[in-house]
Amino acid sequence: MSTETPTQYLKLVISGSVNAGKTTFIRTISEIEPITTDEWASEESVKEKKSLTTVALDYGRLTVDESLILNIYGTPGQKRFDFMWEILSEKAFGAIFLADSTSHEDIENTKKIIEYFNIHVNLPYIICVTKLDLTETIGFEKVVSLFIDLNTTIIPINTTIREDVKTALLTLLTEVIQNLE
Ligand SMILES: Nc1nc2c(ncn2[C@@H]2O[C@H](COP(=O)(O)OP(=O)(O)OP(=O)(O)O)[C@@H](O)[C@H]2O)c(=O)[nH]1
Ligand SMILES: [Mg+2]
């Protein structure tokens, strides 16, 4: 009889407002070249922030060890693609929502996305505050205060730093395990 532990595949979702760092998060941690669907932005409100935006999904993969592989899916940030949020969340074990600390409006948009998920998907989740290294940031404590009513774990990350992204994944895994207990 084989004593090897079978490999478990866990799916998780990265979501949040346009420009919060979802695609970057996946690119930073993925061990394969991520699959991305960035297209030229068409909406004025998006064009003001960036030229390319995710329109369907991002996908990346991380082997934690021989017993655990994470399949990581990023969502579009635009509300008009909200049908993708539910499709991508099917059979996911948890979600990470990114909140861009340089924009009040985008923090509010991330909050609306979380509310949408809580109604339609209902997964364990954490919030990661991004872009705290930029001079335009409103600061971690201020962002935390804007999410206080959600009563969930909130951590600061820079999505371009691998150790930060790893910490985010570990924090979500811990949260999910605590939810199971
Ligand atoms: N300085 C800094 N830049 C960041 C951070 N996170 C993301 N960025 C930058 O923010 C920009 C937008 O990042 P994306 O990863 O495209 O954001 P997104 O959430 O995928 O955006 P959409 O797909 O349009 O919704 C990129 O230029 C990133 O390099 C961060 O923590 N610090
Ligand atoms: Mg993207």
pLDDT of residue 2: 61
Say what the pTM is. Answer: 0.96
Q: Where are the domains of the chain?
A: 8-180
pLDDT of residue 151: 87
Which CATH code for domain 8-180? 3.40.50.300
Residue 158 predicted with pLDDT over 70 = yes
User: Does the CB atom of residue 52 touch ligand 1 within 6 A?
Assistant: no
> Can you tell me the mean pLDDT for 132-149?
97
Secondary structure, 3-state, the chain: CCCCCCCEEEEEEEEECCCCCHHHHHHHHCCCCCECCEEECCCHHHHCCCCEEECCCEEEEEEEECCEEEEEEECCCCHHHHHHHHHHHCCCCEEEEEEECCCHHHHHHHHHHHHHHHHHCCCCEEEEEECCCCCCCCCHHHHHHHCHHHCCCEEECCCCCHHHHHHHHHHHHHHHHHHHC
Atom nearest to 24 CA in ligand 1:
15
> Can you tell me the mean pLDDT for 61-74?
95
Residue 25 predicted with pLDDT over 90 = yes
